[in-house]
Amino acid sequence: MNKLRVGVAGASGYMGAELLRLLLSHPGVTLAAVTSDRLAGQRLDRAFAHLRGLTDLMFHELEADWLAKVADVVFLALPHMESQRAVPVLRRRGRKVIDLSADYRLRNAEDYVTWYKAPHEDPQHLAEAVYGLPELHRKAIADAALVASPGCYPAGAILAISPLVARGLARLDGIVIDGKSGVSGAGAQGRKVDPMYLYTEANENVQAYGIASHRHTPEIEQELGLLAGTAVRVSFTPHLLPLNRGLYTTASIPLAKPLTTAELLAVYREFYAGEPFVRVLDEGERPTTRAVVGSNYCDVAVVADSRTGRAVCLSAIDNLGKGGSANGVQNLNILAGWPERSGLAAPPVYP
């Protein structure tokens, strides 16, 4: 395995920290550069004590030209609407980019005005970006120069629902999605902490937020619409759970025809056959966040509700894993032509 020089921009947040943990143990990677404007000049292992002894890198200010000189592939773990300032420079210098922010996920530039309240500043590269969910776009990712990794809520929801939509078994009206995430999903907010993420507010508490307005909604609709071949609208409500990590999705899907749980599971097993990180659970088993924390796995289950003519679709992921950094590493493996489990083979953490 020929080693690639990899840089990480915005490495001081939770997503960046998880990405560094994975890259430092990846057999095909030399971690060449890390940036953080906030921590520029500090040693990486001083900021992240859990990486002590694994690297002597220093944080550097974000300078896209410098990153292009020292890295072959660059991960961007930047706040939303900031990656589009670095991508044009990196792509002009011939560097491949895996973006963990929302900046290149949506195909329609106007959606950024609607959902992110700002115009997209790089429509050229928005058009070339590939949505980085391997289970749906593996072939396109392999040939991509710019990969837009999914948000955590969309990753959990899309993987829970896709088999039904792709096989024409779902009615597309009345899709209801409930997502619940641990607090690390909001990122390391520094000095500007939303009070809902404070320990005293999040602990022993469950809160809904972004009701009928969450920015991940168009991502879910976009990918399900591509599978369906027509526009899809969903009702999506996110919730905050008092967990460090983990994301749980429950989706209620109206069925186009009556199906049993056994029949639904057969569809899921066929759809995800050969997928290294999607585990379809047996009838009677239920996903749990505890079973996927620290990994790139997505556990899925589906149950027929014959009384309402619906399917109840369930998934569990680590919001920093399959919902973020680990999925990004899977994309790196695909870009490089490496086995997809490279650097991701360790089982989930327990307890």
Per-position pLDDT tens, the chain of length 351? 789 999 999 999 999 999 999 999 999 999 999 999 999 999 999 999 999 999 999 999 999 999 999 999 999 999 989 999 999 999 999 999 999 999 999 999 999 999 999 999 999 999 999 999 999 999 999 999 999 999 999 999 999 999 999 999 999 999 999 999 999 866 554 546 677 777 778 899 999 999 999 999 999 999 999 999 999 999 999 999 999 999 999 999 999 999 999 999 999 999 999 999 999 999 999 999 999 999 999 999 999 999 999 999 999 999 999 999 999 999 999 999 999 999 999 999 998
> Which of the 8 DSSP states describes residue 237?
E
Give the model's pLDDT for residue 192: 60
Which CATH class name applies to 153-317? alpha beta
> Is 152 a known active-site residue?
yes
How far, in Å, CA of 99 to CA of 94, rounded?
Answer: 15
Give the model's pLDDT for residue 201: 84
How far, in Å, CA of 51 to CA of 159, rounded?
Answer: 32
Torsion sign across C-alpha atoms 212, 216, 222, 223: negative
Taking the domains of the chain in order of start, what are their residue ranges?
A: 4-149+324-336, 153-317
Contacts 24+ apart (CB under 8 A), 123-129: 124/88, 125/84, 125/87, 125/88, 125/91, 126/84, 129/99, 129/104, 129/105
Cα separations (Å) of 321 from 17, 18, 113, 330, 333? 11, 8, 28, 10, 15
CA angle 333, 30, 143 (to 5 degrees): 30
How far, in Å, CA of 298 to CA of 315, rounded?
Answer: 7
Residue 45, classified by CB atoms within 10 Å of its CB into exposed (0-12), middle (13-18) or buried (19+), is middle
- Amino acid identity at 324: G
Model-level pTM?
0.95
Give the model's pLDDT for residue 185: 65
How far, in Å, CA of 257 to CA of 279, rounded?
Answer: 25
* Residue 228 phi, psi (nearest 5): -80, -25
Chain centroid to Cα 334, Å, comes to 16
Give the model's pLDDT for residue 189: 47
Beta-carbon count within 10 A of 286 CB: 11
The domain 4-149+324-336 having CATH identifier 3.40.50.300: the answer here is no
- What DSSP line would sit under 276-327, residue for residue? SSEEEPPTT----GGGTTTSS-EEEEEEEETTTTEEEEEEEE-TTTTTTHHH
How far, in Å, CA of 195 to CA of 202, rounded?
Answer: 9
CA angle 28, 80, 228 (to 5 degrees): 80
Cα separations (Å) of 21 from 49, 58, 145? 11, 15, 24
> Which of the 8 DSSP states describes residue 224?
H
| Choice among 68, 78, 152, 243 that is catalytic | 152
